[in-house]
Structure 1
Amino acid sequence: MRLYKLLSFLFLIATLTSCTLTENIYISDNGTGKFSIDMDGSSLMAMAGDQLGDQMGDDLKKNVDSTFTFKQLFEEKKDSIAKLSPEAQKELKKLENFVVNTKMNAEKKVFLMTLSTDFKNVNELQDALQALSTLQKLESNGNPSAPFSGGLGDNNSELSYTYDGKKFTRKAVIDKQKLAAKAKDSSADMSKMIFASSNYIIKYHFPKRIKKVSNPSALFSEDRKSITIQYPFTDYMENPDKLNFEVEFEK
C-alpha cells in the first residue's frame, strides 16, 4: 500500500472517532530526549472495524504493522508539497525526522499509531499535531469547506517548550484571529461532538526529581521524576492554553 494512502486512512480513523492521544516527552541528563504522540483508536475498531474495511477496500482489510519516516512520505508527495505556501512547507519540514509506526488488526480490534522523533534540545520541539494538520490539508486539496480540512490538531495556537534544568514549561499561545474565523466554521460543531469523548494525556519524564507542578491535577510517579496529566481532547482543540503549565525541579 502506498504510504500516503495508508497515512490518510489512519488520519481518517483518528479524526472521525473518539480516541486517546498521549503526548510523551523523555528528557535525559544532557537535555536530549525523545518525543512521541500515541494515538489509540481501538474503540472504533471494536465498534466498526468490519464496516471500515468494507468501505476502504481490500488493502485496508489486511492487518497492518508498518514503520516509515515522513521523509519517505514527503518524497512520495513532493509535487503536491511544492505547490504549498512557503509557510506550509516550513510546517511540514518539522515532521521530516518523525517515524510513524502503525498497528491495525480488525480481527483483534486494534488500531495504534505512534509518531516519534529524537531531539537534541526540548526547546526545538513544536506541536506535532499542528504540523500534521498541514499534511491533512493536502488530502482536502486546500479546500477549507472539506470535512475536517482544518486537521486533527489545528487548534489555532503556537506551542513551545522550554527546559533549562531548573524549570520546564509547556506554553500554547492562541492566535485570536484564527480562533475567530474557526468560530464561524460550520464543521466546528461536528468536530466538537466527535472529540467530546476523546482524551489528551500528557506524560513527561525528567532526569531530576520534581519539586512542584503548576497544574494541581498532575499525578507523580513514585520517584517524582515523571508526571501524568489528563485533559478532555476538547480542551486541546478549543482552549489549548488550558494545557499550559510549569514544572520546577529539586536542587
Structure 2
Amino acid sequence: MKITRLLMGLLVGFALTSCNFTEEIYVNNDGGGKFSIQMDGSQLMAMAGKEMQNDPQAGKVIDSTFSFKDVFAAKKDSIAKLPVAEQERLRKLENYTMAMKMNAAEQQMMFTIATDFKSVAALEDAMSAMTGVTSLGKGMGETNPLAQMGGIGNNNSTLKYAYDGKKFSRKATLLKKETTEVANDSLNEAFSMIYESSTYTVKYHFPKKIKKVSNSAASISSDKKTVTVEYPFTDYMKAPEKLNFDVEFE
C-alpha cells in the first residue's frame, strides 16, 4: 500500500487532523539570505502511526535530503519530453534542496524545501515546487510521499517578493482559472479536510528594525527584526492574495 493512499484513506474515514506549514526567510544586509518552507504533518502521523507500522512499505523510516539539481539530472530524459514552459519552471528550482523525515514509530512527518538566494526577487513559489516535481513521472513520485499528495500547495497563483532595504513585499497574484472542473473524489475531500484544519505561517527575519507591517494580524519580535503572521491554510489555498503584505523599516 502506498503511503499516500493510506494517509488519505485515514483522513476521509476519521476525524479532522492538520498539517502546519511555515514559510521562513532570513534576509541579510546585502539583500541575499536563506529561504525555507516546512510542512509538519506530525499530527497526521500520530493518527496514522499504528496503521502505518503494520504496513512494511508505509511504515518504512525515511530520513533523506536531496537536491533538485541532482534529481533533474537523473530525470533529464523525462524532462526533455515536457512542454518548454514546464522545463523552464523546473530549471528555476535547481538550487533548492528537500529534506524528508518520516517515522511512524516516533510520530514524525516533516518535509522541508530550502535554498540560499542572492535576491528575494529570484525566489520562486516553493509550495508549488513541493508538488510540481510530479510532472517528472511516476518514478520520482514513489520516492517522494509529498509529491504523491497531488495538488496540495497549488493555489493557482504566482508569488513574488521584493526588497530594497526600505521596504519588503510579499505579493501573490491569482492566475486565470482553468475552465475544466476537477472531479470531487475522495482525494479532493481529503485535501479539503487538511485545508480546513491546517495553518500557514510566514516568519521573516530582517537585518533592520521594522517600522510597520500592513497586516493587522502580524506580530513583531522584541528586537523589531522579525515579523510573524499566521493564516488559516484555506486562505493560502482559496484566497492567496490575503497573504499579501508590506514591511517598512526604520
Query: For the residues of structure 1 that align with 2:6 and 2:116, how far apart are their CA atoms?
Result: 26
Question: Is the alpha carbon distance of 1:10 and 1:113 closer, same or farther for their aligned partners in structure 2, counting shifts above 3 Å?
Answer: farther
CA drift at 1:32: 0.7
Cα deviation code 1:49-103 (max 9, x no counterpart): 2323545x44x53332212111122233222222211111122112211111222
Partner of 2:143: none
Alignment partners' CA distance in 2, 1:66 and 1:232? 29
Residue type of the alignment partner of 1:75: A
Structure 1 Cα separation of the partners of residues 46 and 21 of structure 2:
17
Q: CA RMSD in A?
A: 2.6
Q: Give the secondary structure class of the aligned counterpart of 2:177.
A: helix
Which residue of structure 1 aligns with residue 197 of structure 2? 197
- TM-score, length of structure 2 as denominator length: 0.83
Report if the CA contact (8 A) 1:20-1:41 is conserved. Answer: yes
Counterpart Cα distance in 2 of 1:66 and 1:11: 21
Counterpart for residue 243 of structure 1: 243
Q: 2:63 matched to which residue of 1?
A: 65
Relative to 1, partners in 2 of residues 1:94 and 1:49: Cα closer, same or farther, differing over 3 Å? Answer: farther
Question: Structure 2 matches for 1:112-191, cutoff 5 A?
Answer: 112-139=110-137, 149=150, 151-178=151-178, 181=180, 185-187=183-185, 190-191=190-191
Q: Distance in 1 between matches of 2:196 and 2:220?
A: 26
> What count of residue pairs does the alignment treat as equivalent?
232
In structure 1, distance between residues paired with 2:5 and 2:222: 35
Residue 144 of structure 1: aligned partner: none
| Cα deviation, residue 130, structure 1 | 1.8
* Identical pairs, percent: 50
1:77 aligns with 2:54: no
Normalised by the size of structure 1, how large is the TM-score?
0.83
Q: Verify the 8 A CA contact 2:160 2:170 in the aligned structure 1.
A: yes
> Which segments of 5 or more consecutive residues in structure 2 lack a partner in the other structure?
12-16, 140-147
Would the alpha carbon gap of residues 107 and 193 (structure 1) be closer, same or farther in structure 2, given more than 3 Å must change? Answer: closer
Closer/same/farther in 2, CA of residues 206 and 85 from structure 1, 3 Å limit: same
